[in-house]
Amino acid sequence: DAGVIQSPRHEVTEMGQEVTLRCKPISGHNSLFWYRQTMMRGLELLIYFNNNVPIDDSGMPEDRFSAKMPNASFSTLKIQPSEPRDSAVYFCASSLGHRQETQYFGPGTRLLVL
Amino acid sequence: DQQVKQNSPSLSVQEGRISILNCDYTNSMFDYFLWYKKYPAEGPTFLISISSIKDKNEDGRFTVFLNKSAKHLSLHIVPSQPGDSAVYFCAAKTSGSRLTFGEGTQLTVNP
């Protein structure tokens, strides 16, 4: 099993640019989670999907952030326009069922907004 | 409002000694607690968990202790090994809620 796949692994962009992060969950998993990791706040859940439907997006910081899951094998997290304070590591995780406890994380995307 | 706090950003111990990582929480409704380990350039991986009906859970070298009255959680690693060097996150949840993570503690085990 390839595990959760995220791309790109690293992204450097300039303030104001659009950033799109991609995630392929583990085959057969029906829940997908997007997290952001910062030094100050640790790991924060941004949004999670179950069966491709957004269930809880209360962690999405603001309207500049949007996430989609067009099918069971792909999800995107978009930031438009990006700001320097968005610099962080963004993780995608997937699990079978709603159980966040049994989630498997991807390797993360390290985003730097200049 | 940080409901789960790991007040030590880093910890350094000698190989073979005990590592104790601490975590405090404020929400008395939390009923399930987990520890994750994260190596550089990798995502976190689940390590061990404990339900609020227990005060201790052990898995090999790893033991998690829960003190509900103090709202305190700790992870003991004994004996510590260099391969245990990683960032450790504690997390907590209530029934039906999402996980709330702490900031993480960087553990370094020196040979």
Taken in order of first residue, the domains within chain B and their CATH numbers are 4-110 (2.60.40.10)
A-chain CB neighbours of B94 within 8 Å are none
Of all helices (H) and strands (E), which one includes residue B91? strand B86-93
Residue A73 clears pLDDT 80, i.e. is over it: yes
- CB contact B31 to A (< 8 Å): no
How close, in Å, is residue B57 to chain A by CA atoms? Answer: 16
The whole-angstrom distance between residue A96's C-alpha and the CA centroid of its chain comes to 17
| Cross-chain residue pair A42–B6, CB shorter than 8 Å | yes
Among chain A residues, the shortest Cα distance to B41 is held by A107
Q: How many CB atoms lie within 10 A of CB B3?
A: 15
Locate A26 and state its tokens: 């583990």
Tell me the pLDDT tens digit for each residue of B89-108: 999 988 777 889 999 999 99
SS3 A97: coil
Tell me the pLDDT tens digit for each residue of A27-69: 999 999 999 998 888 899 999 999 999 998 988 988 999 999 9
CA distance linking residue A36 with residue B80, whole number of Å: 29
CB B109 within 8 A of CB B25: no
| Cross-chain residue pair A105–B45, CB shorter than 8 Å | yes
Chain A / chain B CB contacts < 8 angstroms: 52
For A53-88, give one letter per residue: b (16+ CB within 10 A) or e: eeeeeebbeeeebebebeebbebebebeebeeebbb
In total, chain B counts a number of residues equal to 111
Q: Which residues pair with B13 in a beta bridge?
A: B109
- Of the partner residues B32, B43, B91, the one whose CB lies closest to the CB of residue A105: B43
CA distance linking residue A12 with residue A89, whole number of Å: 12
- Of the partner residues A9, A42, A106, the one whose CB lies closest to the CB of residue B101: A42
- CB contact B99 to A (< 8 Å): yes
Kindly report the average pLDDT of chain A as a whole number.
93
